[in-house]
Every structure is written in C-alpha cells, then in structure tokens.
Amino acid sequence: MKAPLVIVTATLAAAITLTASLLVITTTRGANTSFDSSAGPLEVETVASGLSNPWSLAFLPDGRMLVTERPGRLRVVTRNGQVSSPVSGVPEVWASGQGGLLDVALDKDYANNATLYLCYAERVSGGGRTAAARGKLSDGAQPLLGEVKVIFRQEGPLSSGNHYGCRFAQASDGNLFVSLGDHFGPRDEAQNLANHLGKIIRITPDGAAPRDNPFVGRAGAKAETWSYGHRNVQSLAIHPTTGRLWEIEHGPRGGDEVNIAEKGKNYGWPVIGYGVDYSGAKIHEGTHKAGMEQPIKYWVPSIAPSGMAFYTGNLFPAWRGSLFTGSINRIKGLIRLSLDGEKVTGEERLLQNLNEEIRDVRQGPDGALWLLTDNVAGRILRITPAGR
C-alpha cells in the first residue's frame, strides 16, 4: 500500500525534480525499450512525456486521449504525442497530498453527447472530500469543458489529504460506480452506512441514487452506497463478459485486495484483512468474520495497485481475458492476473526494470496496453509485442 504523503523538504523536492528531469532526457518519445514476458518480448514506446503526475487516461473516439494531471489539469494528447494546453472549465481541485484531479471517464454515449466525468479532491473548510462532476467537451484549438455540473459530493469526516479513492466504472445501464476512500484517519467509518467513507457508490449520470440501490429507504444509511467496508479503491472496472463490478484496493502494510463488489455486501475494512499498520501494530480482528466478504486475491507484501483493465484485444492473444493493474510502490511495474471465470489462477509481473510507478493501465483501441507513469515528469507508454 502506498503510504500517505508527507511534506518533503525543499532539498528533497529539488532532488526529485532533478531526477524526473533526467528521466525525461533519457527516455524521449520514440526511444523504445524491450522487456521479456510470457507473451514474448514487449516493446515499450514513450508516446508523450513531461506530464505532471498523470493519474487517468481515457480514449476519445478518434484515438486521441484525455489525460488528467493531479495538480488540476486535463489535457488532450494525440497519438503522436502532441499535448494540448490545459482544457479550460475544469472544476477547481485540492491538489494536496494524494488529492487533486484524479479520474476521467467518457460517457458510454460520448460520441453523441460529448459528456465526460471527472473525479477529484475538493477542498472544504477543515479538509478535503471526493467529488464528481460531469461536463461536455468542446474540442478545438482551445479545448473547453462546458455545462459543468457537480453530481456528487462525499459526506462524512474530511480528509487531511489521503485516501480519496476516485475511480469510475459505468455499467451497461448507464449508471456510474464511483469508489470513495476512507480518508486514512477515520478508517472505522468504512463500516458506518451513515456516511460515504470507504464505500463504492452507484449513481445515475445526474448524481441521483437509483431506486434499486441496496440501502434506498433504509434509515441511517446513504442511498448512494452500493458496497462498503473498503479502504482505498483506485482500480475499478466492469467485467466485459459478466458485467459484474471488479475492484482492487490498497491495504495498509500488506493486504491489497481484488474483490467483486456486489450489491449491499461488506468487504470488511478495517475489521478483517491481511495487513498490519505501518507501525507494525495490529489493525484487524482477524482475516475472516461472518457477514464480511473474502477477496478473490490478496497480496502480502503490498503491491500498491492502481488502474485496471480486462484485456480483450488481439495484439496479445495469449493474454486475452487477463486482468492488468499497475503498481505505484514496491513492484513499480505492470501486473497481469490470469483468470478462470472469477478465480485468479496466476500472476505475472512485467516491466519491473522500467523503474516507474504505474498509475493507470488501459487497453487502447489498437489493442495495445497504455500506461501512465506517476511522477513530476510523467509519461504515456504504449506496450506492444516487439516488432509490431
């Protein structure tokens, strides 16, 4: 699990900036590198660089990309690596700690309605909270996000800068799932149905709670809640065959989990789990408890997972049906899970020598795997079989 961010000294910050600058110099666009894998040698192409802590990537219908930068900028990036000026009209974000402008997702009917969704940290008196907004992209020489409407604001104890969650997944019925972190400090609130901390919510594109949500009409419970007992979900996706919602969440020191998030279910945090506190102190009552779900996979030690994609393309036929997630801490690479239905049958760790924190992973319209690297000079990477 990625530890909460702390303020660094000016000297350390300068060192980080210098390191990032050197990284840009030595990995310019088009400088491809090959890595081994079970599918044969992989080619890693740097499509664009110089992005400031890029967090999420979404493909536009014409193959260009929308990329969020955590300090609060949304950019349009072409296939050949041209990066636009910041899209105007983006809501103000609280870019502190782990917060800022985080996920971006296109509406399922984007080709007709130009609607996209943004998830971000919003500052309020006393701290921060997760918020979600929708808007319409006007694409031109100066891209503009118009008709912006905040559709959701998290309720509950505020964050000091950590654990916002903030991933989207849109179901076939058009409803949105949004992951909401536990804000790190008030972790017990993940079990409290009276607030939104440590929850996955399900809302309409306008932000309302669908009438068939599990806690609609229940006194003392938030109608938007879909599932609860989560810590910090930064990976969310709909399975392409079953239509079920999968999530991967950060544990503390150990205990990152893969879960299938089902309606009304309790996933246990912080009552049960497989990790310990950063100090080594005990957190959980145990690993199992009646009425609480077990993960379909967990990691000890932690991998700090972020981003998620089910692979359905043709460039890697041997990997079709696999689940990919990035690692933003110890492994610093790309992780592939092989699946048999809803069981994880194997794990492969890729690009470990890349020495990058992978914040997001997407399957592109070309069948390649596209990654974002999280640093002050972040890159967009395209992964293909070597020679393709």
Positions annotated as catalytic residues are: 163
Where do runs of H (alpha helix) occur along 69-189? 110-113
Residue 343: how many other CB atoms lie within 10 Å: 9
b/e code 210-237 from CB counts within 10 Å (16+ = b): beebbbeeeeebbbbbbbbbbbbbbbbb
Tokens of 109: 């009917």
| C-alpha distance across the termini of the chain, in Å | 35
Neighbours of 323 (CB within 10 A): 24
String of DSSP letters for 3-57: PPP-PPPHHHHHHHHHHHHHHHHHS-TT--EEE--TTS-EEEEEEEEEESSEEEE
Give 186's DSSP letter: T
Distance CA 301, CA 254 (A): 4
Supply angle C-alpha 39, 40, 44, rounded to 5: 100
**Among the listed residues 121, 117, 139, the one whose alpha carbon sits nearest the alpha carbon of residue 130:** 121
CA dist 166 and 68 (Å) reads 12
Report the C-alpha gap between 115 and 132 in whole angstroms: 13
- Beta-carbon count within 10 A of 187 CB: 20
Q: Evaluate whether 225 touches 195 at the Cβ level (below 8 Å).
A: no
How many other CB atoms are there within 10 angstroms of residue 88's CB atom?
12
Q: What distance in Å separates the CA atoms of residue 193 and residue 202, rounded to the nearest whole number?
A: 14
